[in-house]
Amino acid sequence: MPVKEKLGVVVSNKMQKTIVVKIENRYPHPIYSKTMLKTKKYLAHDELQECNIGDKVLVQECRPLSKRKRWKLVKIISKSSLIS
C-alpha cells in the first residue's frame, strides 16, 4: 500500500519538534458544481525544528507518534518570505 503524502502550509511552530500544517482540499459541490474549499490541520513531526510559519512543506503519513501526531515532515518545498 502506498504511503500518503500531502502538500500544505505551516501555520504554527510553537511546540517542540511539532508543526501544524494546513492542507486545502478542493472539490465540486455535488448539486451546484461550484468548487468548494475545505481545510484541515494536521500535526506533523519536525525533528530538526527547521520550519517557520508560512513555509510550504511535504508531509508523509507515519506510525502514531503521540495522541494526535501521525505525520512527519519529509521536506520543505519553499521557505516563507516572512521573518519570524
In a domain, 83, yes or no: no
**Domains contained in the chain, number:** 1
How far does CA 51 lie from the centroid of its chain?
11
What average pLDDT score do residues 10-39 get? Answer: 97
> What residues make up the domain containing 48?
5-78
CATH of the domain at 20: 2.40.50.140
Three-state DSSP at 19 gives strand
Residue 53 clears pLDDT 60, i.e. is over it = yes
What local confidence, expressed as pLDDT, does residue 59 receive? 98
What local confidence, expressed as pLDDT, does residue 2 receive? 86
Q: What is the DSSP letter of 82?
A: S
In a domain, 84, yes or no: no
Question: How far is Cα 2 from Cα 18, in angstroms, rounded to an integer?
Answer: 24
In a domain, 23, yes or no: yes
